[in-house]
Structure 1
Amino acid sequence: MRNTRTLTQRAALTAATVTAALVLAACGNDGTSNGSGSHTGGHSSASSSTSAGTTAGAHNAQDVSFAQGMIPHHQQALEMAELAADRASSAEVKGLASRIEEAQGPEIRTLGGWLTSWGEDVPTSSDSTTGSMPGMEHSAGSGMPGMEDGSDMDELDKASGTDFDTMFLTMMIDHHEGAVAMATTEKSKGVYGPATSMADDIITAQTAEIAEMNKLLGKS
């Protein structure tokens, strides 16, 4: 009887041990599955994050056109603003020109950085004399909106005093209106967040400066 009980007890113990092992194995498999799932989930999260990052950094042809067009547009504005230091007679005009330089210089560098990261051509300063970049959306298919031609720039270069002030303000209003038009197109058709954000800043800042310049000209 004792042997029978001992055998029965051993059998029961063995069964319990096997059952426990099976339970642990199942848990282990679940853990592995979860681990695998977690890994897959982690990968999915990483993929989602990467996808989100890609989406956030995605750009289209309009973004490229905006950057390639705004660089020479800004460069010409800087050329005009630099003349004001020696030729303007109005402190208000000199102050405005200084603010234009402070705002648009860094924007040129930012725009160039985007183009470089996208593997696109970065316009040179010589492009500001032609005012035309391939792919830019503008009327007549010629120069960008608000870009001044060489003869106008030469006249501004030769002017001084109140004549310079009037010419500078008149030309810069036209120039700013062109930039606002370009930025408005970017906001409606661009997809690159930083570019559309810059476009919004340009619209806000330059619209305010247009009002300021009209006031200096006595138009408002």
Structure 2
Amino acid sequence: MSEAATVADPSSVEGAILASFAAAERRESPYVNWRVFDLFPDATARALVELPFHAIELQGVSGRRELHNDQRSYFAGEVLDQHPAAREVAEAFQSPRIVEAIMAQTGAKLVGSYLRIEYAIDVSGFWLEPHTDLGVKTYTMLYQLGLPGQEDLGTDVYANRETWIERVPFGWNSAFVFVPSDKTWHGFEARKLHAPRRSVIINYVTDEWRAREQLAFPNEPVRGL
């Protein structure tokens, strides 16, 4: 089956996102965050897990994703033309209906910001130091494509840089969401990855974001209804 044949129609993608937001689990500690389930239609999720991107060659260096900027993959430019699933997701999160729903749910200020979507494939040796995403990011969704046996590969949540609180279960077609602040500490403790860990990092960023080639629609700031 071709990749194109596995992708859901745009209205069903938006509908699934809105339904998942409506059913999201809100948590107040150690900072406000949301756990989202069944984010996309299953056809879209299956198409995403099959995207032919490559894991970063860490060469013993990890701790921050930007250490390997030259190898990172984004739903931008030619990728949107080559992979229907990437375009489906990008167009959904560019949609005023979805933007409006995110703002209503989280209070994030998104109008005038830009959509940035990174596709990550992590392998053993990967880890991330605790960080907050505070700065030019106005919204963070860590979307998970967890396969059976990968439940322990979720994001680690901290009360501060030094105090670990919990690990988000790395589920299939699920996501961990927060609005960046000086309290939104998260990272990834080093652990054995027996199979590649696939995730999609969805951010909205301000106009100050310099790497415009990473943006899904670099000339189109998002808008609400």
TM class by smaller structure: under 0.3
Higher strand share: 2
Structure having the higher Rg: 1
Name the structure, 1 or 2, with higher relative contact order (CA <8 Å, separation 6+): 2
TM-score, normalised to structure 2's length?
Answer: 0.23
TM-score, normalised to structure 1's length?
Answer: 0.24
Higher helix share: 1
